[in-house]
A and B are shown apart, each in its own frame.
Chain A
């Protein structure tokens, strides 16, 4: 019993239980309870954005930024333009870091007939070179802005301990320009993959300004909106006896969050890329497209930073803040919510965190069930392979889900 039961190549420890007689599938989560919402209580505001990145080593910068935004909301701080732009830049880096890692090391091997991601070096040297180029440039964005590729050191409440120099930014821009073709080739590679067939009716959900926006997988034009400040009421978490993670639903619906959902909510990429929003396997193509989107955005942000004087001053809390704040960000795997309440001396007395994978878990089970129902004439072994591939396509972060 050496890890035999766990699904390989996903972040964290989960397994599928398939009841072939009843044709039912269940997703079990085994991670030990981590209790971040408890461990933060009694610590200070300054420690929150230090501790929460440790929820997830794949998207630590997203957790860091969500905490900072919650804390600044609680302390009445409005960050300056330099801070806003640099944080957006870090988010671009985080997206590409996470998507490139997931695609090339966890998901693409399923489509390309290899096991370990590094086997791509022999199988398709050019694609592997592109993978490394994307990993390098995204790591570099996060390192230059946040100080370290995993777990930021430079960010702080009200701004940054340290800003990158304009020379750093100039070199970064050069690297981004040099990796344009790696981005294009990666999108082409993912557009040409043979995605298994699947049709699921889900709500696709993404954050947009202060709103949570949902569209239907079979009609992405009809939008349903709610306010972020009501996130706790609208995103309900259910506790299951076979999981240390909670299973989320948005207004009673199974939802899909992350790349595919963002593309559906933010714009119609369907024509250009032949994206199928009803097929969660297409999340992998959406991730490649998003690598392109955030690679472009990063260059635009650096352009803006060039045109202005960088403001190093850290913004201080206002005199009578509310001491309660909600911070949100689109993390690589979808909408992330951090809420914090502080005592007057800035000791944390309450934290609530809802991660993207908590929201995705319910729909992973639904999609797995649909795959089981819709796929005919396959052996149990082949069916198991497809189901695991589906779970991977969702890019679940189980460590995040068991925060």
Chain B
């Protein structure tokens, strides 16, 4: 097949840990197969080659924190047919969003110094600034989900979100239920797709895959209040989800 007719892909990263791109490289042989079906024309972490667009699909990892990143995001929106958030920093604000705008100002002075001129503005998800066509959640993303979504895109479909919660996959993984065991968990309100991997490892679910459709958040909070105190519940909801509302459009 003529390579030039393949969709033009760009992969960008804003302020983040780049772990989702590391996951992507871990696809190994599968990455080669995917590559053969697309034309990666701009990918700073992976290559020198950089075309200026327009692009068919743009993946953006990370949180736009600086003005330059916010401006670039807007330009990329203009230049792309389909813009995708890659990973929880991009889709929900994620870990960088733990810190509020007011707190940021305080910490610039403490971590840097009084005279330091900060570049950062705030840590908000992509959708706070532009329309985002699809969100690939996860901290980090799940590779099987990534492949599924790219395959749907390449087949010309609009990709779909998983309709079930993490609980469904957690049961499939044979994990004992944290909530029944009296441990807090955001699995019931969180979109599936992760395979319940954190809970399988013995860690909590902090909801990095975002809220599932029609999630009963209040219902879960009532149950959590029977298990633990308000402070701990708040900690669960502020690990990845403190700016979740900014991701809704």
Residue among A43, A51, A58, A118 with the highest chain B CB neighbour number at 10 A: A118
**Assembled-state Cα–Cα distance A34/B112 (Å):** 11
Say yes or no: is A54 at the interface (Cβ < 8 Å to chain B).
Answer: yes
B99 and A136 within 8 A (CB): no
**Assembled-state Cα–Cα distance A149/B45 (Å):** 19
Also in contact, A153 and B18, with CB within 8 A (given A54-B139, A115-B48, A239-B112): no
Also in contact, A154 and B202, with CB within 8 A (given A34-B96, A35-B111, A149-B23): yes
**Assembled-state Cα–Cα distance A241/B117 (Å):** 8
B66 and A30 within 8 A (CB): yes
B140 and A150 within 8 A (CB): yes
> Chain A nearest CB: distance from B78 CB in Å?
11
Say yes or no: is B65 at the interface (Cβ < 8 Å to chain A).
Answer: yes
A38 and B22 within 8 A (CB): no
> Chain A nearest CB: distance from B94 CB in Å?
8
B35 and A12 within 8 A (CB): no
Residue among A35, A116, A151, A241 with the highest chain B CB neighbour number at 10 A: A35
B17 and A57 within 8 A (CB): yes
Say yes or no: is A126 at the interface (Cβ < 8 Å to chain B).
Answer: no
Q: Inside 8 A of B26's CB, which chain A residues have their CB?
A: 135, 139, 149-150
Interface residues of B in 82-105 (CB under 8 A from A): 94-96, 98-99, 103-104
Say yes or no: is A60 at the interface (Cβ < 8 Å to chain B).
Answer: yes
Also in contact, A8 and B50, with CB within 8 A (given A35-B99, A44-B235, A116-B43): yes
Contact with A along B26-55 (1 / 0, CB 8 A): 101101100100001011111111101100
Interface residues of A in 36-84 (CB under 8 A from B): 37-39, 43-44, 47, 50-51, 53-58, 60
* Selected contact of A57 from candidates B20, B42, B47, CB within 8 Å: B20
User: What is the interface of chain B mostly: helix, strand, loop, or mixed?
Assistant: mixed
**Assembled-state Cα–Cα distance A142/B228 (Å):** 32
B22 and A54 within 8 A (CB): no
Also in contact, A117 and B46, with CB within 8 A (given A43-B235, A154-B201): yes
> Chain B nearest CB: distance from A126 CB in Å?
15
> Chain A nearest CB: distance from B241 CB in Å?
14
Q: Inside 8 A of A147's CB, which chain B residues have their CB?
A: 197, 200-203
Say yes or no: is B63 at the interface (Cβ < 8 Å to chain A).
Answer: yes
Say yes or no: is B198 at the interface (Cβ < 8 Å to chain A).
Answer: yes
**Assembled-state Cα–Cα distance A244/B67 (Å):** 14
Say yes or no: is B106 at the interface (Cβ < 8 Å to chain A).
Answer: yes
B202 and A244 within 8 A (CB): no
Q: Inside 8 A of A23's CB, which chain B residues have their CB?
A: none
B197 and A148 within 8 A (CB): yes
**Assembled-state Cα–Cα distance A147/B199 (Å):** 10
Q: Inside 8 A of A161's CB, which chain B residues have their CB?
A: 201-203
**Assembled-state Cα–Cα distance A241/B69 (Å):** 19
Interface residues of B in 121-149 (CB under 8 A from A): 123, 139-140
**Assembled-state Cα–Cα distance A60/B139 (Å):** 12
Say yes or no: is B237 at the interface (Cβ < 8 Å to chain A).
Answer: no
Q: Inside 8 A of B116's CB, which chain A residues have their CB?
A: 239
B66 and A32 within 8 A (CB): yes
Also in contact, A37 and B117, with CB within 8 A (given A4-B50, A147-B200, A154-B201): no
Also in contact, A2 and B72, with CB within 8 A (given A9-B48, A30-B119): yes
**Assembled-state Cα–Cα distance A146/B200 (Å):** 11
> Chain A nearest CB: distance from B9 CB in Å?
12
Q: Inside 8 A of B46's CB, which chain A residues have their CB?
A: 8-9, 105, 116-117
**Assembled-state Cα–Cα distance A217/B32 (Å):** 40
B22 and A150 within 8 A (CB): yes
Also in contact, A153 and B197, with CB within 8 A (given A3-B50, A58-B18, A101-B22): yes
**Assembled-state Cα–Cα distance A322/B49 (Å):** 53
> Chain A nearest CB: distance from B70 CB in Å?
10
**Assembled-state Cα–Cα distance A152/B202 (Å):** 10
Say yes or no: is B177 at the interface (Cβ < 8 Å to chain A).
Answer: no
B contact residues, range: 35 or more
Also in contact, A57 and B48, with CB within 8 A (given A31-B15, A37-B111, A162-B201): no
Say yes or no: is A169 at the interface (Cβ < 8 Å to chain B).
Answer: no
Say yes or no: is A1 at the interface (Cβ < 8 Å to chain B).
Answer: yes
**Assembled-state Cα–Cα distance A149/B235 (Å):** 25
Say yes or no: is B176 at the interface (Cβ < 8 Å to chain A).
Answer: no
**Assembled-state Cα–Cα distance A50/B26 (Å):** 21
Say yes or no: is A121 at the interface (Cβ < 8 Å to chain B).
Answer: yes
Also in contact, A32 and B120, with CB within 8 A (given A37-B111, A116-B40): yes
> Chain A nearest CB: distance from B30 CB in Å?
11
A399 and B110 within 8 A (CB): no
Say yes or no: is A11 at the interface (Cβ < 8 Å to chain B).
Answer: yes
Also in contact, A115 and B45, with CB within 8 A (given A38-B103, A149-B26, A153-B198): no
Q: Inside 8 A of A44's CB, which chain B residues have their CB?
A: 235
* Selected contact of A151 from candidates B19, B21, B35, B200, CB within 8 Å: B19
| New A-B pairs, 16, CB < 8 Å, besides A32-B123, A33-B119, A58-B18 | A2-B50, A2-B52, A2-B53, A4-B50, A8-B47, A9-B45, A33-B108, A35-B99, A38-B111, A54-B139, A117-B46, A136-B28, A148-B197, A148-B198, A153-B198, A153-B200
- Residue ranges of B at the interface with A (Cβ–Cβ < 8 Å): 12, 14-23, 25-26, 28-29, 31-32, 35, 40, 42-50, 52-53, 63-66, 68-69, 72, 75-76, 94-96, 98-99, 103-104, 106-108, 110-113, 116-120, 123, 139-140, 197-198, 200-203, 235, 239
Instruction: List, sorted by A's number, 14 A–B pairs whose CB atoms are closer than 8 Å.
Output: A1-B75, A3-B12, A8-B47, A33-B111, A37-B111, A47-B235, A57-B19, A57-B20, A121-B32, A148-B197, A149-B23, A149-B26, A156-B203, A246-B112
- Residue ranges of A at the interface with B (Cβ–Cβ < 8 Å): 1-4, 6, 8-9, 11-12, 30-35, 37-39, 43-44, 47, 50-51, 53-58, 60, 101, 105-106, 115-118, 121, 132, 135-136, 139, 146-154, 156, 160-162, 239, 241, 244, 246, 399, 402
The 6 A-B pairs of least Cβ separation, nearest first, read A57-B19, A161-B202, A153-B201, A32-B65, A38-B107, A147-B201
